[in-house]
Structure 1
């Protein structure tokens, strides 16, 4: 009985030891992470680490796989946080690569993002994700305070001036339309044109001390006047002929009386 108990005890201890060793191996496998080294930096033209609103901001990442395992670079992403409270402001663009990282080979990769935030200081956090056998890991790439600024205004920026002109034209057109639509307009007083007296052009016929212009007299009155003149001329001619005939007959009578 003692031998059986001793054997069962030894067997139990052996099983327990095996289980502990297996758990330790599993934990070591899970904890073991491939050594991937990555750093990020702004361009030399941006020594103060400024992020310009409305423009493309670029970080250059230097990535190297120092392990002997097949590592795949999945993506590069970032976020902005409050500098004092570390509260998340907004997540930035996530760039997917899905490319293998060759062992002991250093590559440079760009990370580009746009900013539309309130000017001031913020903490920029950038990381990359890589995977080994469907197991994903994250490596911190950049974590520092940056300054968000507005773009500098250039007086030679034709794009800006054209935008201002278009906006000003639209506002001016809308203002004029609203003024003509909603503001009562004063009525315009029509000025009567003074009659224009034209200078006499035609021939002026004088009668007595005054004269008149034939262009201002209706045509039928002119015709009547002409007929009257013609009738008077004929009558005067007839009376003159009759008078001359009477004088002639009187003279002839006198001559005959003298001969007798």
Structure 2
């Protein structure tokens, strides 16, 4: 009986130790507070831009922990319905007991301008166990970025769009516009056979057209020169006419 009693005590002690080993340890006390930078005191989240948040983490326990990641989510301000999770950043930074650290966190917003609820948390592990600590839970205001005509991004975007439209328009013009007709220039016929040069001032008659080789015939003109006989008869006629005029008088 005594042996059985001792055996029973031993089995009970082993079961107690097994239960104690299986029971989880208490969660280490870790504080995390997220805040926007000083230039964004009202907590405005700008669409299409990188929004920065800083997390101050303090390990108030005497156990060492490892900061695994920081993540967040956007919720409806009234129903708290999940809209979208933000980007999760992995750190895996060890944090000793009683130590403090500040970690940056950034995310992008593509939501309708207005009020939304933002949640940010940090995941850490301690002795193989994973824990989550809430760092931010508040209403934020999503706004559109300010538009400026001198914005480099906007100007570069306009330049790229204009260049693409110009290239498309030029390609369309070349594809559908009627092409101008090319004028045909008469081809200059080259002389057949070799060309030989003669001496100074000489030429070859086979290269000259036939109608240029024919010499024009001299035209016959009537001579208007009076002979001596003609001159004598003319003088006699003039004398006879003079006598006739005197007789009439």
- State TM-score, norm by structure 2: 0.65
Partner of 2:81: 87
How many Å apart are 1:168 and its aligned residue?
4.0
SS of the residue 2:38 aligns to: coil
Equivalent position SS for 2:130: strand
SS of the counterpart of 2:158? helix
Contact 2:63/2:96 (CA < 8 Å) preserved in 1? no
Task: State the match for 2:225 in structure 1.
Answer: 240
Equivalent in 107, 115, 119 of residue 121 of structure 1: 115
Shift of 1:65: 1.5
Aligned-pair CA distance for 1:120:
1.8
Query: How many pairs does the alignment contain?
Result: 199
1:67 aligns with 2:61: yes
- Residue 102 of structure 1 and its aligned partner are, at CA, apart by 2.5
- Whether 1:23 and 2:23 are equivalent positions in the alignment is no
Alpha-carbon distance between aligned partners in 2 of 1:133 and 1:16, rounded to the nearest angstrom = 28
Which residue in 2 is equivalent to 1:150?
A: 144
Which digits, 9 at most, give the CA deviation of each residue in 1:150-186, with x for residues without a partner? 101123213313322432454466467668978x99x
Relative distance call for 1:93 and 1:70 in structure 2 (3 A) is same
- The corresponding residue for 1:253 is none
The answer as to 2:144 corresponding to 1:138 is no
Q: CA deviation at 1:248?
A: 8.0
For the structure 1 residues 12 and 83, does the alpha-carbon distance in structure 2 shift closer, same or farther, using more than 3 Å as the test?
A: farther
**Gapped runs of 5+ residues in structure 1?**
186-219, 251-260
Contact 2:58 2:101 in 1 (8 A): yes
Partner of residue 205, structure 1 = none
List runs of 5+ in structure 2 lacking aligned partners.
179-211, 234-249
TM-score, length-normalised on structure 1?
Answer: 0.62
Write out aligned runs for 1:64-213 (5 A): 64-171=58-165, 174=168
Change in CA separation of 1:21 and 1:150 when aligned onto 2, cut-off 3 Å = same
Paired with 1:122 and 1:154, the residues of 2 have a C-alpha distance of 26
Q: Deviations over 1:39-65 (max 9, x none)?
A: 110011112211101111011011112
Shift of 1:69: 1.8
> d(CA) in 1 for partners of 2:116 and 2:22?
41
Looking at structure 1, the residues matched to 122 and 230 of structure 2 have their Cα atoms a distance apart, in angstroms, of 151
2 CA distance for matches of 1:148 and 1:9? 72
The equivalent of 2:183 in structure 1 is none
